Amino acid sequence: MAKDPHAGWTGGQNAFGDFAPGMVHYTDKVLFDEVWERADLSKRDRSLITVAALTATGKADQLTFHLDYARQNGVTEEELKEVILHLAFYTGWPNGMSAMTVAKKVFTKEN
């Protein structure tokens, strides 16, 4: 069954609209509609890997989205906090502190 070409991820479109069509295409059609949909890893596992990579590389801006997305993919807030704590020892305390600051903002804005 073919996938509806108008269905799927729209995060890139929502973020950039017509400003950066290449970024929209690769974000929506390749990264989220193809890579994230591959069967060999669950979305939950992909979320954990992504949070780990973003924490390790200090990409706090992208963590806001991915921490929330990880929760949608079945990762609990407690698991995410534990992942960040664990990563702080392997990727540097400042990266862990930055990631935990983002997590606190994401997790407490809804409470």
Give the C-alpha distances (Å, rounded to integers) separating 103 from 2, 15, 28, 56. Answer: 37, 21, 24, 14
The domain made up of 43-111 has a fold known as AhpD-like (1.20.1290)
Q: Which residues contact 25 (CB under 8 A, 6 or more apart)?
A: 12
Question: What is the residue whose two structure tokens read 């989220």?
Answer: 32
The ranges assigned to domains in the chain are 43-111
What distance in Å separates the CA atoms of residue 63 and residue 69, rounded to the nearest whole number? 9
Measure the CA angle with vertex 111, ends 92 and 75; round to 5°.
50
* pLDDT tens for each residue of 41-90: 999 999 999 999 999 999 999 999 999 999 999 999 999 999 999 999 99
Look at residue 99 in the predicted model and tell me its pLDDT: 98
Predicted TM-score of the model (pTM): 0.87
